């Protein structure tokens, strides 16, 4: 049976194709494909759409990025494969720096990701010149190595598709952390300052649009955002959808 292009399943299949191509091109590692599989499950549980709860988190994230003194977008292989154009556009809209930061790090992968970003208009890409390397304390993985002009000095860091250990380390290092995480119960989601429980492809596009539409009033008011409460609402949405499935 053919799936209509407008159907959520068609979008999921398109994302899979982008990740597989990213794997073939050397951006994505095998572990990244496995991580995406977990995310797909949670996307299904939230209804494969951006919820009102996620829209609220996206607005809080937009305000934080626009108001930041030195915002940075942290890029890994999966994000580069899925949202190359969006990374560059968000950087332009917010003035955020782009930094490549990998769990399974290699100079070859960094160069491939940098080439993808440059092809889509990125001018400055951090995290590829070891002369500027600094280390985040209390973190054992390769992601502890960051650029002193980027994540090391940032006040706000957007870390889509993040691992929990680095989110905790960044928080201890005094950074405001924004993340995309389809699992509202993960350590990353629970630790971050602002968690957007949404598919990163949908969410990044809405985040860019929201940043563009922020009014002077939005920035002056700085509305309060409670991440824990927002995450609880996302969990309730998942429970509600699970009950529907069980009773179908």
Residue 58 lies in a domain: yes
Residue 73: domain span: 52-238
Q: State how many domains the chain has.
A: 1
Q: Are strands 156-158 and 71-75 parallel, antiparallel or unpaired?
A: parallel
**Helix or strand run (H / E) with residue 196:** strand 194-196
Q: Span 232-236, mean pLDDT?
A: 96
pLDDT tens digits for range 90-133: 999 999 999 999 888 788 999 999 999 999 999 999 999 888 88
Residue with tokens 């008011």: 221
Residue 245 resides in a domain: no
Confidence class of residue 220 from pLDDT cuts 50, 70 and 90?
confident
High-pLDDT (> 90) share of the chain, %: 60
Query: Mean per-residue pLDDT for 127-149?
Result: 84
Highest mean pLDDT, choosing among 20-24, 46-50, 216-220, 221-225: 46-50
Residue 162 lies in a domain: yes
CATH code, 163: 3.40.50.12640
Residue 66 pLDDT grade (very low, low, confident, very high; cuts 50, 70, 90): very high
pLDDT band per the 50, 70, 90 thresholds, residue 88: very high
Residues composing the chain:
248
What's the half-sphere exposure (Cβ side, CA atoms, 13 Å) at 203? Answer: 30
Task: Identify whether 68 is part of a domain.
Answer: yes
In whole angstroms, give the CA distance from residue 208 to residue 205.
Answer: 5
Tens digit of each residue's pLDDT (9 = 90 or more) over 9-35 = 556 777 888 887 888 988 888 776 666
Tell me which residue of 109, 104, 116, 110 sits closest to 163, measured CA to CA.
104
**Do β-strands 71-75 and 133-135 pair in parallel, antiparallel, or remain unpaired?**
unpaired
* Contacts of residue 60, Cβ cutoff 8 Å, sequence gap at least 6: 194, 223, 225
* SS3 category, 156: strand
Is 15 part of any domain?
Answer: no
Calpha distance 11→145 (Å, rounded):
34
Split at pLDDT 50, 70, 90, the class of 56 is very high
Q: Evaluate whether residue 160 is within a structural domain.
A: yes
Per-residue confidence band for 247, with pLDDT thresholds at 50, 70 and 90 = confident
């Amino acid at each position: 049976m053919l799936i209509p292009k407008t159907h959520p399943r068609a979008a999921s299949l398109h994302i899979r194709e982008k990740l597989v191509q990213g794997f073939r091109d050397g951006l994505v590692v095998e572990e990244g494909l496995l991580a995406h599989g977990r995310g797909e499950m949670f996307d299904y549980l939230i209804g494969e759409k951006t919820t009102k709860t996620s829209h609220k988190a996206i607005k809080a994230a937009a305000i934080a990025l626009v108001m930041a003194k030195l915002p940075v977008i942290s890029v890994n292989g999966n994000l580069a494969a899925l949202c190359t154009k969006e990374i560059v556009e968000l950087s332009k809209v917010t003035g955020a720096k782009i930094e490549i930061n990998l769990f399974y790090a290699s100079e070859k992968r960094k160069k491939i990701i940098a080439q993808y970003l440059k092809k889509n208009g990125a001018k400055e890409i951090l995290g590829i010149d070891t002369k500027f390397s600094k280390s985040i304390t209390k973190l054992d993985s390769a992601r502890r190595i960051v650029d002193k002009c980027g994540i090391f000095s940032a006040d706000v860091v957007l870390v889509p598709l993040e691992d929990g250990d680095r989110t905790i380390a960044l928080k201890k290092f005094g950074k405001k952390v924004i993340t995309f995480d389809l699992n509202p119960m993960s350590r990353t989601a629970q630790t971050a300052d602002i968690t957007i429980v949404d598919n990163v492809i949908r969410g990044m596009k809405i985040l860019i649009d929201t940043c563009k539409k922020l009014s002077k009033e939005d920035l002056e008011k700085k509305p309060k955002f409670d991440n824990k409460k927002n995450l609880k609402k996302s969990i309730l949405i998942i429970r509600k959808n699970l009950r529907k499935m069980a009773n179908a």
